[in-house]
Amino acid sequence: MKLFESEGWKSFWPNFLAVILGIVITFGGERLITNCQKRQDAREIVGLFKIDVERHLKISEGLLDDYTAGMSALRQCAAASGRGELDKVHEDTLRCALNSFFSVHGKIRSALPLPDG
Taking the whole predicted model, whether its pTM rises above 0.75 is answered as no
How crowded is residue 96: how many other Cβ atoms within 10 Å of its Cβ? 19
Query: Which candidate, 92, 117, 97, places its Cα nearest to that of 109?
Result: 97
Query: 5-64 pLDDT, tens per residue?
Result: 556 667 777 888 888 999 988 888 899 999 999 999 999 999 999 999 999 999 999 988
CA 55 to chain centre: 6
